[in-house]
């Protein structure tokens, strides 16, 4: 979707300021949000792509004025209310008013390390890839209403396949519980001028990971 998260190539958002990667949290409440998000994900109501889509679906007024973990929290509230695990009244009150539904699926403390170590692998058996390294491809110029990992700035542009990653869960369907539909995943490199026009630095390029349904032969 063309949500507030898709700002690549746009002006007015300021410079990207890299942070010290050793600093994981800026406040204690952020640690709690991460923990609650992991625990709630173990309930099994949604997958990682549905979770991403919930964040992308926040209104721009909320998204652009929220910190990273506040965006996580806002989306988690939506997901839990949609699942019936919390109500609007409980969110307003800031405390539970009824027991949860899936108490048998709680993430136990002694299981956290194993869950984190496992991560969320997406590699799956799938069809043979249509494209090879070195092929010129064009991304589809579409404006989907649902979830997609294809950036808006890269749609309708020509690039070159530089890597093949095998088949992976297709996020555009997985986010909406329409099946994993694994398909080939590629890294595609684009010249900056191709993406952003003649004012772009001609020495720069941008690489994105793109699922096969995003691509066609150039």
Q: What is the pLDDT of residues 187-196, one digit of tens each?
A: 999 999 999 9
Domain encompassing residue 51: 28-118
pLDDT score, position 17: 86
Which helix (H) or strand (E) is 74 found in, with range? Answer: helix 68-83
What is the number of other CB atoms lying within 10 angstroms of the CB of residue 140? 15
pLDDT score, position 9: 83
pLDDT < 70 stretches in the chain: none
The reply to whether 85 and 160 lie within a common domain is no
The reply to whether 109 and 150 lie within a common domain is no
pLDDT score, position 57: 95
* Integer Cα distance of 166 and 97 in angstroms: 47
Structural domains counted in the chain: 2
Coarse DSSP helix, strand, coil percentages of the chain, rounded to the nearest 5 percent:
35, 15, 50
Q: What is the CATH number of the domain that holds 70?
A: 1.10.472.20
The reply to whether 102 and 147 lie within a common domain is no
pLDDT score, position 92: 93
The reply to whether 114 and 144 lie within a common domain is no
Provide the whole-model pTM.
0.91
- Please say which residue of 118, 149, 179 terminates a domain: 118
Which helix (H) or strand (E) is 37 found in, with range? Answer: helix 28-41
- Please say which residue of 118, 153, 170 terminates a domain: 118
| Number of residues that this document lists for the chain | 218
Which long-range contacts does 71-77 make (Cβ < 8 Å, 24+ apart)? 72/33, 72/34, 72/37, 73/33, 73/37, 75/51, 76/33, 76/36, 76/37, 76/40
Which residue matches tokens 């080939």?
Answer: 184
pLDDT score, position 41: 93
Q: What is the CATH number of the domain that holds 188?
A: 2.30.30.50
pLDDT score, position 150: 97
**Residue 173 in domain:** yes
């Amino acid at each position: 979707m063309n949500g507030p998260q898709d700002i690549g190539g746009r002006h007015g958002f300021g410079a990207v300021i890299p942070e010290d990667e050793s600093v994981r949290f800026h406040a204690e409440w952020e640690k709690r949000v991460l923990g609650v998000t992991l625990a709630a994900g173990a309930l099994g109501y949604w997958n990682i792509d549905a979770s991403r889509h919930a964040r992308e679906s926040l209104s721009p007024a909320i998204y652009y004025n929220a910190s990273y973990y506040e965006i996580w929290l806002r989306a988690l509230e939506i997901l839990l209310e949609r699942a019936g695990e919390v109500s609007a009244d409980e969110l307003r009150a800031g405390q539970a008013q009824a027991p949860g539904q899936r108490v048998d699926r709680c993430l136990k403390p002694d299981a956290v390390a194993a869950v984190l170590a496992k991560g969320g692998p997406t590699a799956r058996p799938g069809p043979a890839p249509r494209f090879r390294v070195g092929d010129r491809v064009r991304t589809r110029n579409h404006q989907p209403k649902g979830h997609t990992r294809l950036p808006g700035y890269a749609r309708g542009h020509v690039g070159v396949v530089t890597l093949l990653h095998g088949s992976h869960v297709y996020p555009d369907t997985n986010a909406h519980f329409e099946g994993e539909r694994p398909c080939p995943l590629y890294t595609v490199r684009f010249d900056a001028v191709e993406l952003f026009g003649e004012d772009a630095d001609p020495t720069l390029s941008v690489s994105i990971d793109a699922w096969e349904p995003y691509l066609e032969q150039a």
